[in-house]
Amino acid sequence: MSFLAQRLSRIKPSPTIAVTQKARELKATGRDVIGLGAGEPDFDTPDNIKAAAAEAIRRGDTKYTNVDGTPELKKAIVAKFRRENGLDYKPEEITVASGGKQVIYNAMMATVDAGDEVIIPAPFWVSYPDIVLLAEGTPVAVPCPQNNQFKLRAEDLEAAITPKTKWLILNSPGNPTGAAYSHDEMKALTDVLVRHPNVWVLTDDMYEHLVYDDFRFVTPVEVEPRLKERTLTMNGVSKAYCMTGWRIGYAGGPVDLIKAIAKVQSQSTSNPSSVSQAAAVEALNGPQDFIAEHNKVFKERRDLVVDMLNKAPGLSCHRPEGAFYVYPSCAGTIGKRTPQGRVIETDDDFVTYLLEAENVAAVQGSAFGLSPFFRISYATSTDLLREACNRIQRACAALQ
């Protein structure tokens, strides 16, 4: 009998972290690898945020805080929801954790029993199904193909709901495709949800600020206030504020759920870092203009990558509304042969070929639940992206 718990056999290590690590290892051996796997901005944390953290240390904000967040940070989050989303949450309806990932983990642990179903539109962020599995729930992936712009349609949602459905997880703009729901697209989904009062909504708004071409972000409760009593509106500072390492995520939701989430956290990690919380207060309350500056660069990179990938034989790439990912189809390479004589049968084969032939590390679509695609993060320098796309074009042209 294995020493390891059975629950561990249900899940796999994060494939995106695995690709990033592999790229790092190969680089350390001297190979000229371009890593396009990482889901984090290449921009540094803004100086005012760093200064707020340094000041917090000097002030002595170095002790335990309330388990689910300091009053100052909750106040800043309440103000953020009001200002940016038109949502009225009270401080007791807010929770803060060590990253958005922990909010989701705590929420699933606090609410999901064996047999409960959680609807997850596919392709999905790799952690959703595995967190549901750890909580002994059943992830129900609903395919959202490219010809639906990788978005969940009302009829697909309706068809996926069963008496066992506990949650729907929505993520807009989404990882791995960058697809984001317009007001009307979101309304079509919330109309379905209004008719199913037993289904709760976890909306992962982590990429809220990363939208391009004047796209207007919406979150479910803003579109349908009647869902507020059964929605967890999750967000965080990791992506928009370039604070992935600081580990602060947060959510607004009904008091009973927020209390349950805090209970899980109180018996696991306790409060998120006091210093990071002080930094997050400055992130939310301080100047926001760098976000638009970053977005200008991200949009240019998105357009560069989409245009170059669409010139690669066998690839076809959509132009997503947001986040910093594209999710090109590699269907046109399937069945082709590499110069080494290997046949590309899956998107796993395709990304392995890219890494071996051209030292480009991307993540296979199978990790995200929709094949044959692969994910590229364009949160890296424009020069590196151009070089990476040149290499991908070359690799595709070499297939026969």
Residues near ligand PLP, by CB under 6 A: 39, 99-101, 125, 171, 175, 204, 206, 236, 238, 244, 249
Residue 349 Ramachandran class (φ > 0 left, ψ -120 to 50 alpha, else beta): alpha
Minimum CB–partner distance for residue 238 and ligand PLP (Å) = 4
Minimum CB–partner distance for residue 335 and ligand PLP (Å) = 32
**Cα separation, 285 vs 185, whole angstroms:** 31
Cβ-Cβ contacts under 8 Å for 293 (sequence gap 6 or more): none
Both tokens of residue 138?
């059943």
Identify which of 180, 203, 179 has the alpha carbon closest to the alpha carbon of residue 190.
203
Residue 338's SS3 state is coil
Minimum CB–partner distance for residue 352 and ligand PLP (Å) = 23
Q: Are 187 and 221 in contact (CB under 8 A)?
A: no
CA torsion through residues 122, 123, 128, 130, sign: positive
| Residue among 137 and 236 whose Cβ is closer to ligand PLP | 236
| Residue among 174 and 372 whose Cβ is closer to ligand PLP | 174
**Cα separation, 307 vs 356, whole angstroms:** 24
Minimum CB–partner distance for residue 246 and ligand PLP (Å) = 9
| Residue among 189 and 308 whose Cβ is closer to ligand PLP | 189
Minimum CB–partner distance for residue 205 and ligand PLP (Å) = 9
Instruction: Compute CA 97 distance to the chain's CA centroid, rounded to the nearest angstrom.
Output: 16
- Length of the chain measured in residues: 400
| Residue among 40 and 303 whose Cβ is closer to ligand PLP | 40
- Compute the C-alpha angle 161/163/169, nearest 5°: 45
DSSP code, position 96:
E
In the bound state, the residue with its beta carbon closest to ligand PLP is: 99
Minimum CB–partner distance for residue 207 and ligand PLP (Å) = 7
| Residue among 185 and 204 whose Cβ is closer to ligand PLP | 204
Cβ-Cβ contacts under 8 Å for 146 (sequence gap 6 or more): 318, 329, 373
Minimum CB–partner distance for residue 280 and ligand PLP (Å) = 11
Question: For the purposes of burial, counting CB atoms within 10 Å of the CB of 271, is it exposed (0-12), middle (13-18) or buried (19 or more)?
Answer: buried
Minimum CB–partner distance for residue 171 and ligand PLP (Å) = 5
| Residue among 16 and 165 whose Cβ is closer to ligand PLP | 16
Both tokens of residue 189?
């989904």
**Cα separation, 76 vs 278, whole angstroms:** 10
